């Protein structure tokens, strides 16, 4: 498998959605009783955090590429 760049926004989104799925499975099994609004807020907040993380990662990588391009042109 070829190496690919690390994408922390996708990692955060996956972890949040996995946690929400586990909470629903625990609720269905009767092990936990999470309120529906908690899971909804956790999912929405986690996806928003993942989006911000993705945007910051993109901006940092774009800036780094521009600096490398400028230094190689000199």
pLDDT digits (tens, 9 = 90+) for 8-23: 999 999 999 999 999 9
Q: How many CA atoms lie within 13 A of 14 on its CB side?
A: 5
Res. 70: pLDDT tops 80: no
Classify residue 50 by burial, with Cβ atoms within 10 Å: 0-12, 13-18, 19+. Answer: buried
Res. 60: pLDDT tops 90: yes
Structure tokens belonging to residue 4? 């690919």
Structure tokens belonging to residue 27? 């609720």
Residues 17, 43: contact at Cβ < 8 Å? yes
**Closest to 61 (Cα-Cα) out of 8, 12, 21:** 8
């Amino acid at each position: 498998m070829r190496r690919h760049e690390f994408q922390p926004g996708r990692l955060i989104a996956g972890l949040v959605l996995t946690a929400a799925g586990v909470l629903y499975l625990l609720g269905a099994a009767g092990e936990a009783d999470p309120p529906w609004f908690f899971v909804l807020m956790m999912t929405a907040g986690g996806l928003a955090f993942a989006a911000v993380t993705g945007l910051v990662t993109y901006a940092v990588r774009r800036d780094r590429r521009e600096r490398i391009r400028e230094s190689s042109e000199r």
